[in-house]
Amino acid sequence: MTTTIQETDERIIAVLSGELDTAAAAQTEKDLQPLLNSKGKEIVLDCKDLEYISSSGLRVLLSILKQAQAVGSRVVLKNVNDVIHDVLDISGFISIFDIE
Protein backbone atom coordinates (compact mmCIF):
# COMPACT_ATOMS: atom_id res chain seq x y z
CA MET A 1 0.00 0.00 0.00
CA THR A 2 1.50 3.32 -1.06
CA THR A 3 0.21 6.86 -0.86
CA THR A 4 1.47 9.80 -2.91
CA ILE A 5 0.42 13.34 -2.08
CA GLN A 6 0.52 16.20 -4.59
CA GLU A 7 -0.46 19.72 -3.61
CA THR A 8 -1.63 22.48 -5.98
CA ASP A 9 -3.07 25.93 -5.23
CA GLU A 10 -6.63 24.71 -5.05
CA ARG A 11 -6.39 21.18 -3.85
CA ILE A 12 -4.42 18.43 -2.24
CA ILE A 13 -4.47 15.16 -4.15
CA ALA A 14 -3.65 11.83 -2.47
CA VAL A 15 -3.14 8.92 -4.83
CA LEU A 16 -3.88 5.62 -3.06
CA SER A 17 -2.55 2.48 -4.62
CA GLY A 18 -2.52 -1.12 -3.41
CA GLU A 19 -4.63 -2.78 -0.79
CA LEU A 20 -5.92 -0.80 2.15
CA ASP A 21 -6.47 -3.67 4.56
CA THR A 22 -6.32 -3.71 8.34
CA ALA A 23 -2.59 -4.25 8.34
CA ALA A 24 -2.03 -1.23 6.10
CA ALA A 25 -4.53 1.06 7.76
CA ALA A 26 -2.35 2.48 10.52
CA GLN A 27 0.50 3.37 8.16
CA THR A 28 -1.86 4.84 5.59
CA GLU A 29 -3.50 6.99 8.23
CA LYS A 30 -0.07 8.37 9.09
CA ASP A 31 0.81 8.88 5.43
CA LEU A 32 -2.33 10.92 4.93
CA GLN A 33 -1.69 13.31 7.83
CA PRO A 34 -0.56 16.16 5.49
CA LEU A 35 -4.11 16.26 4.18
CA LEU A 36 -5.25 17.57 7.50
CA ASN A 37 -3.32 20.79 6.89
CA SER A 38 -5.49 21.53 3.90
CA LYS A 39 -6.53 24.97 5.20
CA GLY A 40 -9.73 24.89 3.28
CA LYS A 41 -8.32 23.40 0.11
CA GLU A 42 -10.26 20.66 -1.57
CA ILE A 43 -9.01 17.16 -0.72
CA VAL A 44 -9.04 14.65 -3.56
CA LEU A 45 -8.50 10.95 -2.89
CA ASP A 46 -7.61 9.32 -6.17
CA CYS A 47 -8.55 5.65 -5.90
CA LYS A 48 -7.63 4.56 -9.43
CA ASP A 49 -5.01 2.11 -8.14
CA LEU A 50 -6.79 1.18 -4.93
CA GLU A 51 -7.58 -2.52 -5.26
CA TYR A 52 -9.02 -3.40 -1.88
CA ILE A 53 -10.36 -1.76 1.22
CA SER A 54 -11.42 -3.15 4.56
CA SER A 55 -13.40 -1.53 7.34
CA SER A 56 -10.14 -0.27 8.83
CA GLY A 57 -9.47 1.49 5.54
CA LEU A 58 -12.93 2.95 5.61
CA ARG A 59 -12.25 4.16 9.11
CA VAL A 60 -9.15 6.03 7.83
CA LEU A 61 -11.23 7.67 5.13
CA LEU A 62 -13.93 8.59 7.62
CA SER A 63 -11.40 10.08 9.99
CA ILE A 64 -10.01 12.31 7.21
CA LEU A 65 -13.48 13.34 6.18
CA LYS A 66 -14.49 14.33 9.71
CA GLN A 67 -11.34 16.43 10.27
CA ALA A 68 -11.53 18.07 6.85
CA GLN A 69 -15.14 18.98 7.33
CA ALA A 70 -14.14 20.57 10.65
CA VAL A 71 -11.89 23.03 8.81
CA GLY A 72 -14.31 23.54 5.92
CA SER A 73 -12.59 21.38 3.32
CA ARG A 74 -14.42 19.26 0.81
CA VAL A 75 -13.33 15.63 0.33
CA VAL A 76 -13.76 14.00 -3.06
CA LEU A 77 -13.18 10.36 -3.98
CA LYS A 78 -12.05 9.96 -7.56
CA ASN A 79 -11.77 7.01 -9.93
CA VAL A 80 -13.46 4.56 -7.58
CA ASN A 81 -13.51 1.05 -9.12
CA ASP A 82 -16.33 -1.48 -8.83
CA VAL A 83 -14.83 -3.42 -5.94
CA ILE A 84 -14.33 -0.33 -3.79
CA HIS A 85 -17.64 1.13 -4.87
CA ASP A 86 -19.36 -2.04 -3.68
CA VAL A 87 -17.84 -1.80 -0.22
CA LEU A 88 -18.71 1.91 0.02
CA ASP A 89 -22.22 0.99 -1.00
CA ILE A 90 -22.71 -1.83 1.54
CA SER A 91 -21.23 0.21 4.37
CA GLY A 92 -23.38 3.27 3.56
CA PHE A 93 -20.23 5.42 3.04
CA ILE A 94 -21.39 6.20 -0.44
CA SER A 95 -23.79 8.78 0.98
CA ILE A 96 -21.23 10.67 3.05
CA PHE A 97 -18.47 11.05 0.44
CA ASP A 98 -18.51 13.05 -2.73
CA ILE A 99 -17.65 10.60 -5.44
CA GLU A 100 -16.54 11.79 -8.84
Does an H or E element contain 18, and which? strand 11-20
- Cα–Cα distance between 21 and 77 in angstroms, integer? 18
Nearest distance from residue 1's CB to other proteins, in Å? 10
Site string for other proteins, 45-84 (x = CB under 8 A): ------xxxxxx-xx--xx-xx--x------------xx-
Contacting range for other proteins; rule: CB under 8 A; set: 7-15, 36-44, 91-99: 91-99
Distances (CA, A) of 76 to 8, 12, 64: 15, 10, 11
Q: In terms of residues, how long is the chain? A: 100
Q: Should residue 23 be labelled a site residue for other proteins when binding is judged by CB under 8 A?
A: yes
Residue 14 or 84 with smaller CB distance to other proteins: 84
Pair type for strands 11-20 and 2-7:
antiparallel
Would you tell me which residues interact with other proteins (CB under 8 A)? 19, 21-26, 51-56, 58-59, 62-63, 65-66, 69, 82-83, 86-87, 90-92, 95-96
